[in-house]
Amino acid sequence: MDYEILFQPDEKKIKVRPQTNVLDASRRAGVRIPTRCGGKAGCLMCKILVQGEEKEHCSPPEPKEVRKLGTSMIEQGYRLACQTKIMNHLKVVIPEDPLKAAIRKQLEAARNRDTDDFI
């Protein structure tokens, strides 16, 4: 039986076989999740967010992943896409790159200041 995985915010779906890791599923779906280590849990770039009951729909974190992310991040729902295996239908959030988020916030603030000048 195949499982459906939904990638947010892209809203792309794909069906995959059980035990497929999220990074491989994202590549097949055409969803970009950055990585440098080739899926060996070395670079920590492939962080994803699995929320609520969805946490039960993927493999539990291995000790290697817990060491890399820390228990606090794992409790918040963060996982490494290269280490997270799909065990049921799953919804995954790909967090915005921190640098892009900072630039976006600055642009929004500048846009808001410009708008305020015209009111």
| 93 vs 38, more confident | 93
Enumerate the H helices of the chain as residue ranges: 22-29, 63-69, 71-76, 98-117
Token pair for residue 13? 């779906």
Question: What DSSP character marks residue 61?
Answer: P
Between the two ends of the chain, the Cα-to-Cα distance in Å is 58
Per-residue pLDDT reduced to its tens digit, 50-65: 999 999 999 999 999 9
Q: How many CB atoms lie within 10 A of CB 86?
A: 23
User: What's the pLDDT score for residue 93?
Assistant: 96
